[in-house]
Amino acid sequence: MSAPRHFLSLLDFSGEELTALLDRAQAMKATHRAGTAQPLLARRTLAMVFEKASTRTRVSFEAGMAQLGGQALFLSPRDTQLGRGEPVEDTARVLSRMVDIVMIRADAHAMVENFAAHSRVPVINGLTDLLHPCQLLADVMTYQEHRGSIHGRTVAWLGDGNNVCRSFVNAAARFGFALRVATPAGYAPPLDGLAEAELTLTDDPDEAVHGADLVVTDVWASMGQEADAGRRLADLADYQVNAARMRRAAGDALFMHCLPAHRGEEVSAEVIDGPQSVVWDEAENRLHAQKALLATLLGA
Ligand code: CP
Ligand code: NVA
């Protein structure tokens, strides 16, 4: 049995493969809207393992499988033996004999890697402490839908150098855009294991957004960091994306946020609910991008 192909990081695909994937996502979005989509994944089953909360990731994968004629199973550690200490390796061996593909949202990236190493079927990373590659499929798709190729553009990330930020670093390398990351000291993304990209790290948010084509941020306390939220909010207070910051960006700059958002913290209500914000398209495109990913990994 040949080793399955996983999607744990954007780096698991080449730039050409990612571009083809997003073209397919755009085509699938069009056929879905036209009501002419084919049931490409009939009789296929996706297992979804969630160690953390989710709205978008769960619903986009579950609805996506239904739209493609397949099925999705929601598995929480609260209800499975995984939550009672059954080893990840054993769970991977068993699930992958029963389902065709697995999506995992885990606390530790190492858990997903360990699962994938013992799985007979493809494994998709639905967010870990380290990376959120599915989010970047939707983000690049959304930019390109509104503004054309992201190649050669400049993206500014403000705030915490978290899992989504680290996937932006990989996206910068794979799609060929320049990335400026503005964080306070101690919040820069650890770069080990990431692709070498055209990357500027700074502690100056105004410098980062200057002339940028896309401005992005995310929550200041990610899932699992709740106990530390007070200190993080104080440390990151000067990194909000607000109207003054957006005025420094390019005139046609877009704003993105993976959601859920905290208005008044990392982004002002005026920006996220304003005309430059494409966050609802971004959320919708999780569905289309992941349908293309599922079909590609399953060879459909
Ligand atoms: N952006 C994102 O992954 O959202 P959920 O946490 O709701 O899945
Ligand atoms: N950085 C956030 C993203 C949520 C989709 C978190 O990990 O909680």
d(CA 182, CA 249): 14
Residues 19 and 32 in one domain: yes
The ligand placed nearest to the CA atom of residue 223 is: 2
Residues 239 and 292 in one domain: no
Mean pLDDT estimate for the chain? 98
Kindly report the CATH number assigned to the domain that includes residue 160. 3.40.50.1370
Q: How far is the CA of 187 from the centre of ligand 2 (A)?
A: 15
Please work out, in degrees rounded to the nearest 5, the angle formed at the alpha carbon of residue 167 by the alpha carbons of 252 and 110. 165
Q: How many domains does the chain have?
A: 2
154 occurs within a structural domain:
yes
Question: Is the CB of 218 within 6 Å of ligand 2?
Answer: yes
Question: Is the CB of 163 within 6 Å of ligand 2?
Answer: yes
Residues 120 and 138 in one domain: no
Q: What does the pLDDT look like over 97-129, one tens digit per residue?
A: 999 999 999 999 999 999 999 999 999 999 999
Residues 116 and 256 in one domain: no
pLDDT band of residue 45 (cuts 50, 70, 90) is very high
4 occurs within a structural domain:
no
Give the residue-averaged pLDDT of 253-266: 98
Residues 293 and 245 in one domain: no
Are the beta carbons of 253 and 246 closer than 8 angstroms? yes
**62: its two tokens:** 């579950």
Domain that holds residue 263: 134-282
Are the beta carbons of 103 and 61 closer than 8 angstroms? yes
**Assign residue 232 a region: left if phi > 0, alpha if psi is -120 to 50, beta otherwise?**
alpha
Q: Is the pLDDT of residue 189 over 80?
A: yes
3 occurs within a structural domain:
no
d(CA 134, CA 158): 20
Predicted pLDDT of residue 161? 98
Residues 275 and 145 in one domain: yes
Residues 147 and 272 in one domain: yes
Q: How far is the CA of 135 from the centre of ligand 1 (A)?
A: 8
pTM recorded for the entire structure: 0.98
Residues 250 and 143 in one domain: yes
253 occurs within a structural domain:
yes
Give the residue-averaged pLDDT of 181-195: 97
Q: What does the pLDDT look like over 3-32, one tens digit per residue?
A: 999 999 999 999 999 999 999 999 999 999
Residues 31 and 103 in one domain: yes
234 occurs within a structural domain:
yes
Residues 81-90: contacts with CB under 8 Å, at least 24 apart = 82/49, 88/114, 88/115, 88/118, 89/114, 89/115, 89/117, 89/118
Residues 55 and 125 in one domain: yes
Predicted pLDDT of residue 205? 98
